[in-house]
Amino acid sequence: MGTHVNLLLGFHSHQPVGNFDHVFEENYKKAYLPFLELLERHPKIRVALHYTGILYQWLNEHHPEINKILRTLVERGQIEMMTGGYYEPILSVIPDEDKQGQIHKLTEYIRESTGYNATGSWLAERVWEPHLASHFAQAGIRYTITDDSHFRSAGLQESETWGYYLTEDSGKTLAIFPISERMRYLIPFDPVNRTVDFLREVLAKGGSPLIVMADDGEKFGGWPGTFEHCYKKGWVEDFFKALEDNLDWIKLMTFNECLNTVKPLGRIYLPTASYSEMMEWAMPTPAILKYERFVESLQSQNQYEENKPFVRGGFWRNFLAKYPESNNIHKKMLRVSRKVNHILQNPKPYDLPTEYLLKMKDHLYAGQTNCGYWHGIFGGLYLNYLRSALYQNLISAENMADQAVHADKPWMEIEELDFDNDGEKEILISTPKMNCYFRPASGGALFEEDIREISFNLLDTLSRKPEAYHEKLRHGHVIVGDAPVQEDSAVSIHDIVRAKEPGLENHLFYDRHPRYSYIDHFFDPATSIENFKNGQYKETGDFTLQPYSSQYRQENGMAIIDMIRTGVLYPDSMPSPFTVKKTFSMDSKSLKTIMAYQLINQSPVSLKFCFGIEINLALLAGYADDRYYYSPGSDIKITPNNLASMGELPQLTEIGVKDHWLGLDCRLMFPIPANVWRFPIETVSLSEAGFEKVYQSSVLLPHWEIELHPGASWEITLLKDIILNH
């Protein structure tokens, strides 16, 4: 039996860009401050602390007293501060210069705030890729921390993770500490003595083992029910006292002290990985369901724990394949990064103040915050305010970069490139007023519409997708709100799911396509709005998100894109040749978009059909009183008029949407009266309080019932105008 066990404790705290101020405040009161106050009262407890830059900055601005405590703890050698990406990006998927910039920014902030020179880095979401070793080393980082499951996947036994290892990339070395999964699950939910007992078991194996426990700081007071457990009932203080009572054989040390006094167990090369749940969530939904059944099968045969190291899911980057909306944000980020870094690396021609450059770079870094790029059990990509915060910062950074290049001169750019790396080219129109990104290969649709003056993407929506956890909502025992579970219930606890409102299982409809704008629909006149909203109807043409050929030009100060597709209509099951031509025009001085359509019957028979143009508006709040539909220039009263309302407005020539929070008025005008459907896109996702319905965007579908004789055509020109009153 060894003489002592080395115990390293680390706590990571983070709030994403775009999260609500009251969430920061609640976690400060329930988690961050109580934990530090206990550390102050227990000077023998030594830990590593990591606060992401966005959180640390908020704490310093709103509660500067917390930094006084941190500085005191640093000065007496009780804590070491850890650095990382300032805005908690997934480092492996941002450009290399931004990796370095994000880490240096937080390291410098920590040095200025506490006087500590941080040389250890937290790894956001523990997403590891081998090339990170050289980037960490280049940034002056000596070590990082990740799950022991990463090491188990490389073939190590649990006892071989009771220490740390060295890895390298391109000859640059980094120390990696494995986090004990058993310790993460014990702390703080099991009685304190079970943690002590586990450490005794480890010590009994011999040698001087090293155990790491590093986890979310919000777990200690910020998660539901943990404030009472950790502080009112005293779990954290009991834990600290238990460690103090056993310091004769539990040696508490910081990571840097460990590097200086304890030798590594060897060299290792870890596979790409994250924590096990994240790798499961990154897989396609059908694969997740198969994965879950496989795990259940192993568990039923008592074979799961033994084989767990060999059971792993997917790869973090596949969130960019699973969710097109995530990929769009990521590729927007890469585009903006190229613009910003071009100026940062060649600043002389632009003669910009240092403050300007720093602010532009900060907006870029804030737009790399990881939380809105992926989805697991909770929120993430499904939370529109997190996505909106990413776009707001990225558009703001792009505005500053373009302003630096063009100054106050009028300008317009049209580019054709593979923006989203799918093998097809997109057409990007940029002006001082707007960014409009079109996909000719996907129905000639518009997929990004940035209102640059307010840094807002009007198409930042999310389509309704099947998620593996939807099966629990369909087949589980649903309890609404905080209603208690009946003690005599025969339902298994594993089959119980909570929902914020009743009937959410009736909202599990899935979209056939991403919710872009200017999507062309042909459907039977008997189709109802309910059928269309729920995707329970038949397209009677092959135009929706199918390839259009395209040409673009600048003419008389206008950016013009011509698109055409000759496909078929089959209202009577017989394919009939049919052509759609559409032209989009916009200038550099306004927020107006002109859309000219021509439909041509190329068949020898008359055709009767409904033609509709789908337009999506993503304005964040579907039920707010200050965001609503209205009918300009008419006496029609839209009731209800909130953006989550649903209904049909017959024979309209104009409809508008007002958002007083953004100061935005969007009007859609069409000279031929249309029947206009409006309905919301609302997803069903899982949050901390259970299943919830989340408003994503509002669909406007002006449509016309048309009959065309052989060789005849039908034409219409629509105008969309956006007025800002902020």
246 shares its domain with 299? no
Tell me, yes or no, whether 449 lies in a domain: no
Closest CA relative to residue 685, chosen from 675, 696, 670 = 696
Collect all residues with Cβ–Cβ distance below 8 Å to 88 and sequence separation of at least 6.
Answer: 14, 16, 52, 53, 54, 124, 369, 370, 371
226 shares its domain with 352? no
Q: Which residues of 31-43 are buried (b: 16+ CB within 10 A; e: fewer)?
A: bbbbbbebbeebe
252 shares its domain with 176? yes
Please give the single-letter amino acid code of residue 573: S
Question: Which CA distances in Å does 399 have to 256, 403, 618?
Answer: 42, 6, 21
265 shares its domain with 308? no
Neighbour count for residue 202 (Cβ, 10 Å): 22
Tell me, yes or no, whether 718 lies in a domain: yes
307 shares its domain with 380? no
Give kind and range of the element (H or E) at residue 395: helix 384-406
**What are the phi and psi torsion angles at 636 (to 5°)?**
-70, 130
Tokens matching residue 412: 């317009």
Opening angle at CA 467, ends 462 and 471, nearest 5: 140
In the prediction, which pLDDT does 489 show?
45
302 shares its domain with 400? no
Residue with tokens 């994403």: 16
Residues involved in catalysis: 125, 216
Tell me, yes or no, whether 629 lies in a domain: yes
Tell me, yes or no, whether 490 lies in a domain: no
389 shares its domain with 255? no
Tell me, yes or no, whether 381 lies in a domain: yes
DSSP result, 208-272: --EEEEEEEGGGTTTSTTHHIIIIIS-HHHHHHHHHHHTTTTEEE--HHHHHHHS----B--PPS
Tell me, yes or no, whether 22 lies in a domain: yes
119 shares its domain with 157? yes
Rg (CA), the chain: 28
3-state SS assignment for residue 607: strand
Q: Give yes or no for a cis peptide into 64 (omega within 30° of 0).
A: no
Tell me, yes or no, whether 314 lies in a domain: yes
DSSP result, 553-566: EEETTEEEEEEEEE
The pTM for the full model equals: 0.95
Distance CA 477, CA 491 (A): 7
3-state SS assignment for residue 613: strand
Name the E strands within 422-541: 426-430, 434-439, 445-451, 456-457, 477-480, 496-499, 519-523
In the prediction, which pLDDT does 490 show?
44
Give kind and range of the element (H or E) at residue 475: helix 470-475
Please give the single-letter amino acid code of residue 117: N
Q: Are the C-beta atoms of residues 3 and 194 closer than 8 Å to each other?
A: no
Which residue, 379, 409, 439, sits at the end of a domain?
Answer: 409
What's the start-to-end Cα distance of the chain, in Å?
Answer: 71
219 shares its domain with 130? yes
Collect all residues with Cβ–Cβ distance below 8 Å to 134 and sequence separation of at least 6.
Answer: 168, 169, 170, 171, 172
What are the mean pLDDT values of the chain's consecutive 10-residue runs (726 residues total)?
89 96 96 97 97 97 96 96 98 98 98 97 97 98 96 93 97 97 94 96 92 96 92 97 97 96 97 94 96 94 91 95 97 98 94 96 98 89 97 98 92 96 97 97 97 98 95 86 57 64 92 95 94 94 95 94 96 87 95 97 94 97 96 86 96 95 96 96 88 95 96 97 90
The one-character DSSP state at 32 is I
399 shares its domain with 353? yes
Residue with tokens 């259940």: 296
Which residue, 377, 393, 409, sits at the end of a domain?
Answer: 409
Is residue 198 left, alpha or beta, with left meaning phi > 0 and alpha meaning psi from -120 to 50? alpha
DSSP result, 638-661: PSS-BTT--EEEEEEEEEEEEETT
Domain count, the chain: 4
628 shares its domain with 567? yes
180 shares its domain with 294? no
> Which CATH number covers residue 615?
2.70.98.10
Q: Give yes or no for a cis peptide into 640 (omega within 30° of 0).
A: yes
Distance CA 309, CA 178 (A): 14
> Which CATH number covers residue 254?
3.20.110.20
- Tell me which residue range forms the domain holding 56: 5-274
Distance CA 120, CA 323 (A): 32
Closest CA relative to residue 670, chosen from 627, 613, 713 = 613
Closest CA relative to residue 651, chosen from 637, 630, 672 = 672
Which residue, 391, 409, 427, sits at the end of a domain?
Answer: 409
DSSP result, 404-451: HHHTTS---EEEEE-TTSSSS-EEEEE-SSEEEEEEGGGTTEEEEEEE
Neighbour count for residue 633 (Cβ, 10 Å): 10
Tell me, yes or no, whether 431 lies in a domain: no
Distance CA 235, CA 241 (A): 10
